[in-house]
Chain A
Amino acid sequence: MMLAVSGVSKSFRGLKAVARASFEVGEGSIVGLIGPNGAGKTTMFNMVAGVYAPDEGTIAFQGHPIAGLRPDQVCAAGIGRTFQVVKPFAGLSVLDNVIVGALQRSKDVPSARRLAAGIVDKLGLGAKAGLPASALTLPDRKRLEVARALATRPRLLLLDEVMAGLRPTECDQMVEVFRELNRAEGLTILLIEHVMRAVMALAQRIVVLNYGQIIARGAPDEVVRNPAVLECYLGEEAEV
């Protein structure tokens, strides 16, 4: 099992953001985490990524407990993440942004640069590698988030709404990148996503959060027909 979350809770001043949530992400799989705004998806992510320690419950990555580790330790363990609100190193070039990530595995700069250049190309940012990250458009910044996270060579990649703001064709390109990474390198992916087009195309399994609790899980076409999910989240969008 790549990731096993069991009985995890997190409260913020009495507000229970995540309540006794349990789910698993199998090795080499792609799992979608969906739910309405404020359902606790990003809080769940942040607990896996080491930003918050859960109040209770355990999180195991490849069999080792990781709850309570610092974000850099989680990254070193093999989990890469993107941020919903993108956080580029604005003053650095696109390539340098990715080099920072690449240095996680290759400690010397020249080899990190080679690794980073390859990833920048893969994400379609090759022509913009020399530009400062501050000059990028939002879709490109999303790509940069992904490129940086990939550069740390994760075994598990956490994607927090990387499709938001992308046009349908751009979204499809991104989906293709992840499929390819999943197929060729066996990269395991856990994604939070509101763009159902991308979730349906990518995820083999879907976990649905509402008010911090998991209300449904299963194969995508089952989940989107689940009455509870339709009521709280998907509504008419289910036709997509």
Chain B
Amino acid sequence: MNKRTATLLAILGVALAALPAFAGNYVLSVATLILYLAFAGQAWNVMMGFAGQLSLGHSLYVGVAAYVAGGLFFHYGIGPWAGLWLAMLACVLIGAAIGFLAFRFGISGVYFALLTIAFAEFTRIGFDHLGWTGGPGGMFLKVAQRDQIDLLNFRGPPAMYYYTMLVLAAGAFALCAWLLKSRAGYYWQAIRENEEAAQALGINTFRWKMIAVMISSAMTAVAGVFFAFYYNNLFPEQIFHISRSIEIILGPIIGGVGTLFGPILGAAVLTVLGDAITELLAVLGWEIPGVKQVFYGVVLLAVIMFVPNGIWPALARRLGLGK
């Protein structure tokens, strides 16, 4: 990271920290969503961007974590700070199981991606039949008063959720920056670029791929717990749906897979433009269902055609920033 990048990062940090002082609830909710997607995208990026393992089923971890922490709160009043650890543990175990199955038997590339979809899908169907979580009818967490901050149970005004997400996104960024510079980062990138050569250089590729999956699933679990306590209602059809996984991975793909800023930039661009289009159409009085998805598709096409490595690498080159 060079000096210009560090300056930019500092300005961005101050601006984001000051945002609630100026912004209304709507802007704050959009900003929270951006940070949420940036965080989840960062988590996905550890697996795909760093270690080259394509997951198309990250909604699995969001959903399981949301239901674990949400369920504990709903049934036993156990707050998210305790639930978080159990949720992370559950997700790490599931990630490890999927990773073990795939890597032990040499499943890679698109077949690995299919496996991740399969796990997310049958978990969705499983939760549809699980009484404890309310089945397809959903689970609803008690919404508390919005003007009081109850950190213990993670209930409070929009600014609290915003700041939580800001801290998480910043933490994920720092963690990923550190990982990428560490031995793990070198090993993962070597595996991503050429697994056979990586192994010949003494890297236990099975172990390091497992570590990538477990870190990624643990991080995504945090996003899932946030999701549960932010949106307060959980439906298997929504939370485990493949569109949730796609939503997570669009940011890093558009921003730049394997880069640190890509997930953040991608999430911001997609969310802001997507919402702008929805707003614009609302002002014009047109109602077109699915316009956001079409728009995402168009952006994805444009990125693939014009900046195939994502917006961030191209932008960084232009502005003379490091990667």
Where the two chains meet, the residues of A that have a C-beta atom closer than 8 Å to any C-beta of B are 49, 51, 70-72, 75-76, 81, 83, 87-92, 96, 99-101, 103-104, 107-109, 112, 148-149, 151-152
Contact = CB atoms under 8 A, between A and B. Distances in A.
Interface stretch (B17-25, B35-43, B191-199, B279-287): B191-199
Contacts of A100: 186-187, 189-190, 198, 201, 203
B189 A89 contact: yes
Given A70-B199, A76-B202, A107 B194 contact: no
A152 B201 contact: yes
B32 to A, nearest CB: 33
A75 B187 contact: no
Contacts of A91: 189, 192-193, 258
Nearest to B186: A100
B202 A75 contact: yes
B200 interface: yes
Given A89-B198, A90-B194, A112-B183, 15 more contacts: A51-B196, A72-B201, A72-B202, A75-B199, A75-B202, A83-B196, A83-B197, A87-B196, A89-B189, A89-B193, A89-B194, A89-B197, A96-B189, A103-B187, A151-B201
Contacts of A88: 193-194, 197
A49 B203 CA distance: 13
Interface in B142-199: 181-183, 186-187, 189-190, 192-194, 196-199
Given A89-B194, A91-B193, A99 B186 contact: yes
A104 to B, nearest CB: 4
Interface residues of B, number: 21
Given A88-B194, A90-B193, A109-B181, A81 B186 contact: no
A129 to B, nearest CB: 15
Interface in B105-153: none
Interface string B59-96: 00000000000000000000000000000000000000
B205 A72 contact: yes
A72 B204 contact: yes
Interface in B179-233: 181-183, 186-187, 189-190, 192-194, 196-205
A71 B206 CA distance: 12
Of the listed residues A75, A107, A149, the one surrounded by the most CB atoms of chain B closer than 10 A to its CB is A75
A72 B193 contact: no
B183 A109 contact: yes
Nearest to A105: B202
Nearest to A148: B201
B201 A109 contact: no
B189 A92 contact: yes
A51 B187 CA distance: 19
B183 A108 contact: yes
Interface of B: 181-183, 186-187, 189-190, 192-194, 196-205, 258
Contact of A103 (B183, B194, B200): B183
Contacts of A92: 189-190, 193
A101 B183 CA distance: 11
B193 A75 contact: no
B249 to A, nearest CB: 19
Nearest to B196: A87
Contacts of B200: 49, 71-72, 75, 81, 83, 149
A112 B196 CA distance: 21
Given A108-B183, A109-B181, A109-B183, A89 B199 contact: no
Given A89-B189, A89-B193, A92-B193, A104 B202 contact: yes
A148 B204 CA distance: 16
A87 B199 contact: no
Contacts of B189: 89, 91-92, 96, 100
Of the listed residues A90, A92, A151, A152, the one surrounded by the most CB atoms of chain B closer than 10 A to its CB is A92
13 contacts: A51-B196, A72-B200, A72-B203, A75-B202, A83-B200, A87-B196, A87-B197, A89-B189, A90-B194, A91-B193, A96-B186, A108-B183, A152-B202
Contacts of B181: 109
A75 B201 contact: yes
Contacts of B201: 72, 75, 100-101, 104, 148-149, 151-152
Contacts of B198: 89, 100
Contacts of B199: 70-72, 75
A98 B186 CA distance: 10
Q: Which 8 A-B pairs have the closest CB atoms?
A: A75-B202, A89-B193, A104-B202, A87-B197, A71-B199, A100-B190, A87-B194, A101-B201
A117 B99 CA distance: 35
Contacts of A49: 200
B30 to A, nearest CB: 34
A92 B189 CA distance: 8
A101 B187 CA distance: 9
